[in-house]
Amino acid sequence: MFLIRADGNPQIGTGHIMRCLSLADAFREQGKEIAFVIAKPYFQKLIQERGYLCTVLGTTFDHMEDELPLFLPILKRDRPELVILDSYFVTPKYMKMVKDAVPLLYIDDLNAFGYPADIVVNYNIYGPEIPYSGSKTYFLGPKYAPLRKEFQGLGRRRVKKCVENVLVSTGGTDPYHVALRCAEYLREHLVSEGVTFHFVLGAMNRDVEALDRLSCGCPSIKLHRQVTDMCSLMMQCDAAISAGGTTLFELCACGLPTVTYILADNQIMNAGAFERSGLTLNAGDIRGDVCFAKRLFEILDALTENFALRQRMAEQMQDTVDGMGARRLAEALVKTGFGV
């Protein structure tokens, strides 16, 4: 059995849980049994609906050492072949105690310290540039981006001359009310007449009622809730606005030209790397910026008016991310001997 330790909640969003679910699906295809351990029950139902056992510790997600008296006995009882750990709140002590019990894989974005793990995965574009050291096994770069199965094997995008549909993705929680403020800007300024803006509202978005009111009588704003096929929606759109998190890799697999923005510290390196690689345009950090919606739509207008740029971005995006990262990583890990 492989055991996944990850969290999702209104404070840290959904990204850790979603990428771990993608990995879990890929490992299941390799014949491995998967179980999850989480601090609070926010995503227990989703995990169980996907067919995985899920243990809720009832602990605090950002003080992980406090959970060791509960977590270590689970490792001793279940004897997993590998623990997959995905949290920014781990400490060297926590990781060492887990690693002393079982083989440990850590999913990294930040290179915060010298990780006492057997395997480190950093699928970010900047992953191969990080000066990791030690004798660990490393899987680095976007070819290992763990996307959902629906993003595998997509054909090349046919870029249209005119942009008619724009995806607006603000993550699972939208703590800075990006969707609401963008919708307000659209209503006030009548941006891009003839274009439909598809707002994807996460499960923890607190502005649903206000967005419902704004969208009434405004055909340019269409709200999407509980989206079960994000890939199809991305493929139907011609451009996107998205936070600089894991959704960018899905957008790359779809070849959807994107304006990104930053709303968390861990997105700064990611958004910058995507921009330097020519994969996205970057509107910068929107935290504390009361005028960010204006800037977002100005950059979006420049993108929609430049067909050659959108065509070039779409090609580079799909060349960088092929959607096969979860399967590629699962196959490689099984071959190392873990789980055999």
Q: What is the pLDDT of residues 60-102, one digit of tens each?
A: 999 999 999 999 999 999 999 999 999 999 999 999 999 999 9
The DSSP bridge pattern shows strands 2-6 and 34-38 to be parallel
- With H, G, I as helix, E, B as strand and everything else as coil, classify residue 257: coil
Cα distance between residue 159 and residue 154, in whole Å: 14
For the CA atoms of the chain, what is the radius of gyration?
Answer: 20
Tokens matching residue 186: 């659209």
Place of tokens 């923890």: 204
β-bridge partners, 186 = none
Q: What is the DSSP string of 62-113?
A: T-GGGGHHHHHHHHHHH--SEEEEE-TT--HHHHHHHHHHS-EEEE-SS--S
Per-residue model confidence (pLDDT) at position 180: 96
Domains and CATH numbers, the chain: 2-150+323-335 (3.40.50.11190), 154-320 (3.40.50.2000)
* Interval 216-248: pLDDT, tens: 988 899 999 989 899 999 999 999 999 999 999
pLDDT category of residue 192 using cuts at 50, 70 and 90: low
Predicted confidence at residue 190, as pLDDT, reads: 67
What CA dihedral angle connects 40, 42, 48 and 50, to 10 degrees? -130
Q: Band of the pLDDT at 340, cuts 50, 70, 90?
A: very low
Name the packing angle between helices 247-254 and 307-320 (round to 10°): 110
Question: pLDDT digits over 92-143, tens only?
Answer: 999 999 999 999 999 999 899 999 999 999 999 999 999 998 778 999 999 9
Q: Tell the residue number behind the tokens 């995507």, with chain if given.
A: 274
Q: Are 221 and 214 in contact (CB under 8 A)?
A: yes
**Residue 110, φ and ψ in degrees, nearest 5:** -115, -15
pLDDT at 250: 97
pLDDT tens, residue by residue, 167-178? 999 988 899 999
- Phi/psi at 96 (nearest 5 deg)? -65, -40
Instruction: Report d(CA 318, CA 300) in Å as an integer.
Output: 20
Confidence of residue 194 (pLDDT cuts 50, 70, 90): confident
* Alpha-carbon gap, residue 251 to 249, rounded angstroms: 5
Of 240, 18, 52, 51, the closest CA to residue 149 belongs to: 18
